[in-house]
Structure 1
C-alpha cells in the first residue's frame, strides 16, 4: 500500500495507482467508457474477462454497471500495476463487492512458453507491453506525427528549410541506439519476466461456463490472446470488445477469425485521440451472431 497513491474518482469511488507514474484517472475512466459506447453491455449475474486489466478501471466500470453482481476475471502481469489492481479489488466499493478473480499473468496463445518478457514503463504504465518492438513503433509513429505538425506550424514563421530541419529532429528523436536509450530513460522502461496462461486454461481450471463479455487491451498482443482460446470454448463467449493495432494486416486477421467463430463485427472505430497521435489503433466490438450454449444472443 505504501507504493500506491489513492484518489477519489466520482462516481467510481476510491482508486489506487502506483507512485511515480503519470496517471489521469478521470481520463482513464473516460477511455473505458469508449468500450461501452461501442455497444458492449454488462448485466447482473454476468461473467466478464478483463485481459489487460491494468489498475482495474474497466473492471470497476463493469461492476458499477452490474451493481457489483458480476464475476470478474482480471489479468495483469506487471507487478506494480497488479499491486494497485489488488488494492482496488479490496478497497473500491464497486469492485470490492463483485466476485473478483485476479491473475498476475500474461495471457498468451496456446503452445507459448510459460513465461514471457515484459516492457514496463514506470512513468507511462498504461503503455506496458509484452511486445517492446511494437511499442517502439508506436513511439516512432507518435514522434513522426509531431515532427510533421512542427514542420507545418513553423514553415510560415521561419521558412521551409529551418522548419524541415526541426521537423526532422523531432521525427528521429526515438530512433537509433541513442534515441532509444533516451526514450527508455524518459519513459522509465524496465524489463520484467512474467508467468503466462491462456484463456482456455483459466476456463478449464475455474469451471467457467459462459463469458458474457471478453475485453482485451494488451498493447499489441491481442491476436495471441485470441489464439489461446480453444475451439471448445469459443461458443462460451457472447461479446468481445478489443483495442488493437492494425499492422501487417492484423485487423483483417482478427476480423476473419471472429467471423469464422460466429461473431458479427457490430462496431469498428478509432479510439479517441489515436489519429492526432499518429497511431494505427482500432476499437472493435463483436457479438455472437447466433444463440450460444447458454441460450443468450
Structure 2
C-alpha cells in the first residue's frame, strides 16, 4: 500500500544516537545508521583508489541522506566547505538537524538530475537509503531486501532467522511506502547558483539516477571538478561501458570497483579523477 507523504503520519520517531566515535546525531532507523557509519567512517569506502580530501576542499554531497558523509568530511577537516543535497522532506529534516548548524555546510532540499524539474519519489521510512524515483520503483523490492539483510545481518547468527525477520519488515504495512513530489536540478545549475568554480570532490549516491546526474554536468563544468566518487547499482556490461565512456570523454580516469562486501549483485563503486584538474595539495607552511 502506498500513501502520499502528506497523508502519512506513522513514520518512525526521530531520536538522538551517539556514534562509536562519540559524535551525536539524530536518526529514525538504528540499523541504517549503524550501516552508514560502518561504510563511511570505519571502511572509508569513498576514499579509496587515490580519492583524497585536501584542506579547504569544496565538496558536493549528492544524495546526502541524514548527513553521515557530510559529518565524516567535517570530522576530517573543518576547513572544507560542503554542499549537501537531499530531495525527500523527512530525510532532509534529519539532515538539517545533523549538519545545519555546522558553519561550513549548506543543506539544500532538492535532488539532482539532468534538468530543472519535479519528480515523484518512493520513500521508505525504515530504509531511507533505498528510497528511489518512482519511475525506477519497479523491481526495486530486491534491492530493498538486500539492503535490509545488510543492515541487520550482524544481529542474527542464524541466516534463516535473519531472512524471516526481513520478510516481516518487507510487509507493506511495515515498509510504509510513501510518495513525495520533489524538486530536481542539475550539478551545473548549482555550481552557478553557488558560484563554484572548483569542486574538489563530488560524491553521488542517488539510487539508479546516476546517469541523469552526470548528464546534468555541462561540458564546460567537467573541467572544474577534480574527483568524483559514486555508487551504481544493477549495471550490465553495456551500461558499465557507457559509464566509462562518459568519464573518459570528459577528461577523467576512472576505476569501477565491484563491491562484494554487501553481497549485492552488480553493485559497484566508481572512483574518478580528472586528468586536467587534479586535486591541489596546499602546503600549510606557505
Q: Same fold judged by TM-score > 0.5?
A: yes
SS at match of 1:37: coil
* One of 235, 252, 269 as aligned partner of 1:283: 269
Structure 2 residue aligned with 1:50: 61
Cα distance, 1:271 vs structure 2: 5.2
Structure 1 residue aligned with 2:152: none
Q: Is the 8 A contact 2:127 2:144 kept in 1?
A: no
Structure having the higher Rg:
1
Structure 1 residue aligned with 2:128: 125
User: Residues 25, 187 of structure 1: CA spacing in aligned structure 2 closer, same or farther, 3 A cutoff?
Assistant: same
Q: Is the 8 A contact 1:34 1:271 kept in 2?
A: no
Residues 94-113 of structure 1 correspond to what in structure 2 (within 5 A)?
A: 96-97=102-103, 99-110=104-115
* One of 248, 254, 266 as aligned partner of 1:259: 248
Bigger fraction of residues in helix: 1
Does structure 1 residue 35 correspond to structure 2 residue 46?
yes
What is the alpha-carbon distance in structure 1 between the residues aligned to residue 111 and residue 230 of structure 2?
16
What is the alpha-carbon distance in structure 2 between the residues aligned to residue 58 and residue 12 of structure 1?
16
SS at match of 1:45: coil
User: Residues 109, 124 of structure 1: CA spacing in aligned structure 2 closer, same or farther, 3 A cutoff?
Assistant: same
SS at match of 2:138: helix
What is the alpha-carbon distance in structure 2 between the residues aligned to residue 140 and residue 83 of structure 1?
25
Structure 2 residue aligned with 1:193: 181
* One of 193, 197, 203 as aligned partner of 2:191: 203
Measured on the aligned residues, the alpha-carbon RMSD in Å equals: 3.1
Residues 212-231 of structure 1 correspond to what in structure 2 (within 5 A)?
A: 212-231=200-219
| TM-score, structure 2 normalization | 0.78
Q: Is the 8 A contact 1:106 1:195 kept in 2?
A: yes
Does structure 1 residue 62 correspond to structure 2 residue 51?
no
What is the alpha-carbon distance in structure 2 between the residues aligned to residue 28 and residue 212 of structure 1?
23
What is the alpha-carbon distance in structure 2 between the residues aligned to residue 226 and residue 12 of structure 1?
36
* One of 78, 88, 92 as aligned partner of 1:78: 88
Structure 2 residue aligned with 1:250: 239
User: Residues 24, 191 of structure 1: CA spacing in aligned structure 2 closer, same or farther, 3 A cutoff?
Assistant: closer
Q: Is the 8 A contact 1:245 1:251 kept in 2?
A: no
| TM-score, structure 1 normalization | 0.75
Give the aligned length. 251
Does structure 1 residue 23 correspond to structure 2 residue 9?
no
SS at match of 1:36: coil
